[in-house]
Amino acid sequence: MLLKMNHIEKSFAKTRVLNDISMHVEEGEFVALLGPSGSGKSTLFNLIGGMTSPDEGTILLNDNIIHGQKGLIGYMPQQPSLFPWRTVIENVVLVQELSGKPNYEEAKEWLKKVGLQDFQNAYPMELSGGMKQRVAFIRALLSKQNLLCLDEPFSALDEFTRIEMQKWLLSVWEDNRKSILFVTHSIEEALFLADRIYILTKRPATIKEEIIVPFARPREESLLNANEFFQLKQKLFNLLRDEIKVGE
Amino acid sequence: MKWVREKGGAIFLLLFILCSWELLVKVNEVPGWLLPAPIAVFSEAIKVIPSFSTDIFSTIQLALLGLTIGSLVGFIIAVLLHMMPFVQKMVYPLLILSQNIPIIVLAPLLIIWFGFGLMPKLIIIGLVCFFPIVVAALDGFKNTASELKYYMEMAGASKSQLFWKLELPHSLPSLFSGLKISATYSVMGAVISEWLGAKQGIGVFMTLSQSSFRTDRVFVAIFTIMLLSILIFGLLRMVERIVIKGKMER
């Protein structure tokens, strides 16, 4: 088991944000965290990323406690967060620079694999939103960490680009099979991408339900119109709707 | 032609001012020692250039040296203050106060303390030049995009990596704004420092001309100072365009 969180609790001032969260990510597994806005998803990422430590409970990565240790996960934020003064390839190797020598050959190979070879010397301002997110994903991938944490990476994209990016992500991931923890507030996105989904309640967040997604891989876009996809989507929708109702 | 469209207005205005000036002096028959006409100033400039050029070069050298030292000191102070926010709170008000010291009063004191050498001159220019850099650099460091900073921290960047890879490059545009202000000040600072006693320089030329009522030469000096400031400013803008890549997205 790659990542394991046991009975995590976290409060800020007097507000409890996370309440008894236990979850795990297996080696090579794609796990989605689905929850309403403001349910403490970013706090959870801050804990895994070592930006803060939990009040109670333990976070284990490869059986080691990682509280407050940064740089142990590959991270892809909601905003692409590319450095505007670095070219695409210089952005891709940024994380490698932090821990050692950057490997430009490997970066070039990856850019070629995702069809961005013509843009390796371009600056981020020249790229479209989807291209920027691809660069951000490759950067996370090349950080050489076994766990990739993706924080609503496609939420700022338009509908068509988002579906393209989801398919793209699946195709890259299916060849690569790194563990991914994917935060999203889109039910469809979670169902289309993940092996397993944790549904979070509103604040203070607990895990309301763990859903195993039964669809076989590789997944095609046609899955989005399949009957069983629709039924599961309806089920998740009802679960989440209860959460939002209670808050009113 | 793009150049004409961008700079045309400014050049036109300048020509307009010079023409009105010339006209006013001619119509009112103002004597040359009171206010020389622009054409008289230019013809005097051409006359004195051979001997004046050594003064100009001496001032340029002084200004550039002072600017370099002043901006280096300013940059180092800014980095130190950025790394130690606690010290910054203490020192920042003092830095502002340092800009309220009247240079004209300070200059004779500096000569008493350090003599007529290079040292007091560089102190004066440095004092004028370092402040815009400190302010600009600190602002630049502080305004680093928070999502980039967050990303770097999540990626495990150390404090020095955060500075060299993110905060410093991110602050470059701001740093250059400060540097351009300092550059224009540096020529003025050099001239003031030369008033206090130098063998050559625009400041010396100015004092001599003034005391012999050669107002036309005083104006030659004034225009030279302006021209030099613009030149250094333009030079820095060229460097800025080369150094700053990929433009900021805001």
Q: Is the pLDDT of residue B182 over 90?
A: yes
Task: Give domain B48-243's CATH architecture.
Answer: Orthogonal Bundle (1.10)
Q: Is the pLDDT of residue A226 over 60?
A: yes
Q: What is the ipTM of this complex?
A: 0.87
Supply φ then ψ for residue A198, to 5 degrees.
Answer: -100, 130
Q: For all residues of chain B together, what is the average pLDDT?
A: 89
Tell whether A72 is within 8 A of chain B (Cβ): yes
**Using the 8-state DSSP alphabet, how is residue B101 labeled?**
S
Q: With an 8 Å Cβ cutoff, are A94 and B155 in contact?
A: yes
Which residues on neighbouring strands pair with residue B165, listed in sequence order? none
Give the distance from residue B17's alpha carbon to the nearest chain A alpha carbon, in angstroms. Answer: 42
What does the pLDDT average to over A30-53? Answer: 85
The domain made up of A1-73+164-248 has a fold known as Rossmann fold (3.40.50)
pLDDT at A11 (0 to 100): 86
CB-nearest to A98 from B147, B157, B249 is B157
pLDDT at A245 (0 to 100): 66
Give the 3-state DSSP-derived string for chain A, with helices as H, strands as E and coil as C.
CCEEEEEEEEEECCEEEEEEEEEEECCCCEEEEECCCCCCHHHHHHHHCCCCCCCEEEEEECCEECCCCCCCCEEECCCCCCCCCCCHHHHHCHHHHHHCCCCHHHHHHHHHHCCCHHHCCCCHHHCCHHHHHHHHHHHHHCCCCCEEEEECCCCCCCHHHHHHHHHHHHHHHHHHCCEEEEEECCHHHHHHHCCEEEEECCCCECEEEEEECCCCCCCCHHHHHCHHHHHHHHHHHHHHHHHHHHCC
Tell whether A143 is within 8 A of chain B (Cβ): yes
pLDDT at B9 (0 to 100): 87
CB-nearest to B154 from A51, A97, A123 is A51
What does the pLDDT average to over A233-239? Answer: 87
Cα–Cα separations (whole angstroms), residue B80 to B2, B95, B134, B148, B178: 43, 13, 10, 22, 17
What does the pLDDT average to over B3-25? Answer: 88
pLDDT at B141 (0 to 100): 92
CA dihedral in degrees (A124, A127, A128, A129; nearest 10)? -20
**Domain spans of chain A, in order of start:** 1-73+164-248, 78-144
CB-nearest to A84 from B153, B155, B248 is B248
Choose among B180, B81, B76: nearest CA to B132: B180
Q: Is the pLDDT of residue A248 over 50?
A: no
Least confident of A217-226, B38-47, B50-59, B145-154: A217-226
Q: pLDDT for B95-154, tens place per residue?
A: 888 888 888 888 888 888 888 888 889 999 998 899 999 999 999 999 998 999 999 998
